[in-house]
Amino acid sequence: MKLVRGMAVRRGRERELRVMSISIPRDMVWTLIVFIAVNLTLYLILLPLFPEGLLDQPYTFKVAFAVDMVLNFSVGVCVLLPTRRPAFMALGGLLTVLVDLDHSLSLLGFTAPSRPNHSLLFLTLLIIALLLTVRKLEYVFTACAAFFAQLTMDITNFPLLYPLIPARMEFPNPTMSLVWFTIALTFGFLAAIKMKGRP
């Protein structure tokens, strides 16, 4: 097997991380790291604060969850189609799946809070963190698109306005799914506009 080596190289003004023969933009790696860090940090902070009534039983339907992941990834890719860049589509798909990191404990067999990060609080903190670290709007828009792509699949039953309204909110379906998808796609277009004309 070819040796995997990480090496930062300069190409024009863009720094890239070379892993084997695939070049991954450095900002893309950072977006992924920041997304996971904000998600898990907020989840751990909210664990003791989350209302009892919103605890999830240990998740046992692992096959259903795997199917869910594939669907989430596909919607994430779809909403980033306007960028016409496979790397951004893949990033969108991956981030859409990763919103569900706030299911991790119930997936591991514990009774734990469900979906505290399916909230505008998470989205706001994520935007701030990305603006402070990656500092490129196309990545911020991609992350926003992924967040709303995740809501498209969940449709309803998440605490969107936590902590203002700690309860899970019920939205009319499928109207709301269409609304989330439209918002996600709008962010996909914004990402495309932002990177237009760049190599």
- Contact positions vs Zn ion (CB under 5 A): 100, 154
Report, in Å, the least distance between residue 153 CB and Zn ion.
7
Report, in Å, the least distance between residue 197 CB and Zn ion.
35
Residue 59 or 134 having the CB closest to Zn ion: 59
CB atoms within 10 A of CB 64: 10
The one-letter code for the residue type at 143 is: A
CA 38 from chain centre, in angstroms, equals: 11
Report, in Å, the least distance between residue 132 CB and Zn ion.
26
Report, in Å, the least distance between residue 85 CB and Zn ion.
25
- Residue 81 to residue 55: CA distance in whole angstroms: 35
- Residue 99 to residue 147: CA distance in whole angstroms: 7
Residue 139 or 180 having the CB closest to Zn ion: 180
- Residue 64 to residue 187: CA distance in whole angstroms: 28
Residue 27 or 100 having the CB closest to Zn ion: 100
| Residue owning tokens 């990763």 | 98
Q: Which residue is nearest to Zn ion (CB)?
A: 154
Residue 100 or 138 having the CB closest to Zn ion: 100
| Residue owning tokens 């024009």 | 12
Tokens of 160: 């969107």
